[in-house]
Structure 1
């Protein structure tokens, strides 16, 4: 059993400078493991080993805990351990059989320049969230959302009620993130919900989207939040990268059922605390965000695949059904008009007469169950009718 010291981001560099002047060396636990340097540590040298980078991995994959407990017990008395204070609550429980004493480092905070503070405020205020809209802007948002999403009328009404409640309780500090879990067959409009919200918020950037269909299951968490410091190719992960590239408070998590338990636990933590934290201990405040989770699983498989703890955190759980033929016709009319307008503005003003009516007449919506297939048919028909 040993002692663990917590530092804040504002303290770290002053603390490191003071302790290095006193003869200590600083190492990260992940670097020690990846480079296999543990056995080469000098007994006469005093070290501070920073364990911040391993907390998330042990927290979301507790099968590693046994190995780490053995590892900590192998260190000598010349090793002291430190950790970023953002992990204090988790680490006191996870490593309860490793550390018997906890303390904060004693050092002055690093100076934070006005320039850095201004940048932080600018980055935070540049993200437009559903909680930021005034009443008139909210009415316009719902109008655009209703117009942009075809069918699913019951969901639209429930979504309005969810947003109204979320805005109230978010202001009261009781509800940080609005989460939707949408189930159903592929191509029936689940991801379109996120795209429509994205457009209705007036975004000028890419949608922050993570698709677990592109991840290998055993490495999903590393891809999501980055590998620990010291590992080859370590970075901040795809999630924060996508979030930082977006200008609205919305995240789409696609094919969520293909993630593993470590990822499920990670998102449970996000929904509980409203914070996105990567392997580099970078923290992003997601308060006021909407997160849309989509999945191709059935309602029956939902309870067996998703843990009760995570299920209870979703504000909305719903099954999307196939659109009616009338909804499909509305979509076709909208999409054909959209494509013709773009073609006229960006490519050529030479548009064949009655092109709109011709395309509409050649598409039998009853033949299509999948909206992606229907959209492909619209594109193919358009191209066929503008060929000379």
Structure 2
């Protein structure tokens, strides 16, 4: 008869200490599988294997359940299983055909000191989110956002309304994430929306960006949230890594339409619950975040490519059109000034006279539909004049 024991976080360290004294060795399932130790366990040694890390992964990858059921059958009688009681409800259902009996460990609770206290997966206290801003900070945010994003005036107004509503209902617990799905040709400013939000929030770190052009294969979800337990190199995945590197509540998902269906389904849960869960069952609270999804698909193809369930999760669905020549001229002035300022700060204050005006006069913005091409032209023109 297979049995699973549940412990609470206040019991774990006493339980481990008692059982280690009794001769047991403790391993986590992720540690055991990722290091390929499963076939090398000593049959004469008693083990406790903690399966807490499996919960989130199996929930997100139910197709792997068959493999895990077979795996459990291969363990000997010298193996006992434990799990954090926080996962009790999920465990009892997911592994209903694996364990015949469930029980709590019989250990007194211990005092959790600063040294052993669990560190929550979220670092929300150090992340600046749109929901945390006071009225003055919000006004400054929109002022910076409007100044940095050229064109798309209608979107700017709609974005303000979205943020205002989001901040209210997020505080009421009814709206976890503000999600924007931006469609349009490459280079019209979709990605720039996320970069502008990133800067307007005052970030000093990297933008948490994932390009889903790299997630079109059948095992795309494994790369995103971590490889299945047992695979060499299994880790927490790129998504949680990128989010942990950022200091603001913003995620950019580029080329979303290229992702695999499993990735689409994963984001259904993220947008609904406001949590990112990786293959190791690590959770990151993204409540209060803005997620910007960009796509090169047309408005006509939107319904055929994106499922109704996922479409209904997006708070804003909009098409970005080409900028007007006037907007492109404003961008050129801004970008040239920006490059000159950086050059003076990091390279040399010795630059040709009236460099800004000369560069601007040489660029015919009407020749450029793609803002990336226009930006490249600005850079090339700047370098040509610096060299001369």
Shift of 1:365: 1.6
Shift of 1:255: 2.3
Contact 1:30 1:230 (C-alpha < 8 Å) held by counterparts: yes
Cα separation, partners in 2 of 1:176 and 1:81, compared to 1, 3 Å: same
1:175-211 residue CA offsets vs partner (Å, 9 max, x unmatched): 2222222222222111111110111111112212222
In angstroms, what is the RMSD of aligned CA positions? 3.2
Structure 2 match to 1:319: 319
Structure 2 match to 1:137: 137
CA distance in 2, matches of 1:175, 1:88: 27
Cα separation, partners in 2 of 1:28 and 1:114, compared to 1, 3 Å: closer
CA distance in 1, matches of 2:140, 2:170: 20
Structure 2 match to 1:359: 359
Contact 1:212 1:258 (C-alpha < 8 Å) held by counterparts: yes
Shift of 1:35: 6.5
SS in 2 for 1:217: coil
Contact 1:208 1:251 (C-alpha < 8 Å) held by counterparts: yes
Deviation larger for 366-375 or 50-59: 50-59
Deviation larger for 152-161 or 233-242: 233-242
Cα separation, partners in 2 of 1:91 and 1:127, compared to 1, 3 Å: same
1:386 corresponds to 2:362: no
Structure 2 match to 1:188: 188
SS in 2 for 1:52: coil
Contact 1:28 1:229 (C-alpha < 8 Å) held by counterparts: no
Structure 1 match to 2:203: 203
Contact 1:128 1:247 (C-alpha < 8 Å) held by counterparts: yes
Structure 2 match to 1:153: 153
Shift of 1:160: 0.9
SS in 2 for 1:262: helix
Contact 1:50 1:83 (C-alpha < 8 Å) held by counterparts: yes
Structure 2 gaps of 5+ residues are: none
SS in 2 for 1:4: strand
1:240 corresponds to 2:240: yes
SS in 1 for 2:292: strand
CA distance in 1, matches of 2:170, 2:183: 26
CA distance in 2, matches of 1:27, 1:79: 10
CA distance in 2, matches of 1:285, 1:122: 5
Cα separation, partners in 2 of 1:208 and 1:122, compared to 1, 3 Å: closer
CA distance in 1, matches of 2:303, 2:317: 11
Structure 1 gaps of 5+ residues are: none
1:325-371 residue CA offsets vs partner (Å, 9 max, x unmatched): 22212211211222223223333333323322222222222221211
CA distance in 1, matches of 2:40, 2:342: 65
Normalising by structure 2, we get a TM-score of 0.86
CA distance in 1, matches of 2:62, 2:271: 20
Cα separation, partners in 2 of 1:175 and 1:3, compared to 1, 3 Å: farther
Structure 2 match to 1:173: 173
Contact 1:30 1:228 (C-alpha < 8 Å) held by counterparts: no
Structure 2 match to 1:266: 266
Cα separation, partners in 2 of 1:77 and 1:345, compared to 1, 3 Å: closer
Matches within 5 A, 1:94-113: 94-99=94-99, 101-113=101-113
Contact 1:126 1:247 (C-alpha < 8 Å) held by counterparts: yes
SS in 1 for 2:181: strand
1:82 corresponds to 2:85: no
Number of aligned positions between the proteins? 388
CA distance in 1, matches of 2:43, 2:350: 81
Shift of 1:293: 1.9
Deviation larger for 242-251 or 11-20: 11-20
Structure 1 match to 2:307: 307
CA distance in 2, matches of 1:36, 1:346: 49
CA distance in 1, matches of 2:242, 2:197: 17
Structure 2 match to 1:374: 374
Shift of 1:2: 4.6
